[in-house]
Amino acid sequence: MSSTEHNSLNPQQRKTLLEIARASIMNGLRAGAPLAVNPDDFDPALQEQRASFVTLNIQGQLRGCIGHLEAIQPLVRDVTQNAYSAAFSDPRFAPLRSREFDQLSIHISVLSPARPLQFDSEADLLRQLRPGVDGLILEEGPYRGTFLPSVWEQLPSPELFLAHLKQKAGLPSNYWSDSLRVSRYTTESFSTD
């Protein structure tokens, strides 16, 4: 899925992003920093300001996931930095070790701009959700959390998806308030496996 503002990435552009993510992680192992990239050296589609998440898995198990919800820099630089951060700065995991590198599978999600949802109740919100399609951003005061569309694979019902997202944001799973804000986005996703 991609947004209406952007064309989908072609296979070569996807391959380039996966290669640059892998190279950035290798650079992190060798030099302790993300790979330095000059966006001007890349395809114009990779120079566009877009937000991304990079998810790392080893043998099907999450090994790191870091990204941005808003487009703050050229896509190729966003992927480079997020790949490095997913490998070395995800607070849920120890930094990646060299012996793990060859086992990594890299998954990149390029996000569409988020759009606020309008709803008057939790039931109304749940009716609007599109399982397998929507990524959600939930906000309430200082609390904020997001789930990528791929999370629907583990939490296939809107009720479960929303309850777990509330918990991820630091709220009780049954929490509700009229000031709760929810935005949706879609992703274009591709991986090394």
Per-residue confidence (pLDDT) for residue 193, from 0 to 100: 81
Domains (ranges, CATH) in the chain? Answer: 11-111 (3.30.700.20), 115-186 (3.30.1490.150)
Identify the three-state secondary structure at position 133.
Answer: coil
Which tens digit of pLDDT belongs to each residue from 72-93? Answer: 999 999 999 999 999 999 999 9
Q: What is the pLDDT of residue 6?
A: 58
What's the pTM value of the predicted model, to 2 decimals? 0.86
Question: 54 — phi, psi (to 5°)?
Answer: -120, 125
Contact (CB, 8 A) for 97 and 28: no
The per-residue pLDDT for 1 is 35
Distance, in Å, from the CA atom of 187 to the CA atom of 48, rounded to the nearest integer, reads 15
pLDDT band at 3 (very low <50, low <70, confident <90, very high): very low
As a whole number of angstroms, the distance between CA 175 and CA 49 comes to 35
Mean pLDDT over all residues of the chain?
94
Tokens read off for 110 = 């390029």
| pLDDT over threshold 90, residue 7 | no
pLDDT, tens digit, 9 for 90 and up, residues 31-76: 999 999 999 999 999 999 999 999 999 999 999 999 999 999 999 9
% residues pLDDT > 70 (the chain): 96
